[in-house]
Amino acid sequence: MDIAGFSMVSSQMNLASQVSLAVAKIAMNTATENTAELAKMLESSVQPGKGASIDIKV
């Protein structure tokens, strides 16, 4: 393989690596945001008085 071909393959591999890393960062950021939103939803759904007692009439 000549120098130009090696340079071209090396450049393509470098680009593929950079793209892969960028996609992984986006996925990680999305997962972090989703986790934060889920935590907020769970905190807002807690109602301390609900479920403490049950009224039953027979």
pLDDT of res. 33: 96
pLDDT of res. 50: 73
**Which alpha helices (H) appear in the chain, and where do they start and end?**
3-45
pLDDT of res. 12: 95
What number of residues does the chain have? 58
Give the CB-side neighbour count of residue 53, counting CA atoms within 13 A: 3
Domain boundaries defined on the chain: 10-34
Q: Is the pLDDT of residue 1 over 70?
A: no
Give just the sign of the alpha carbon dihedral 26, 27, 29, 33. positive
pLDDT tens digits, 18-53: 999 999 999 999 999 999 999 998 888 777 777 677
Question: What predicted TM-score, i.e. pTM, was given to this entire model?
Answer: 0.63
3-state secondary structure of 52: coil
pLDDT of res. 51: 67
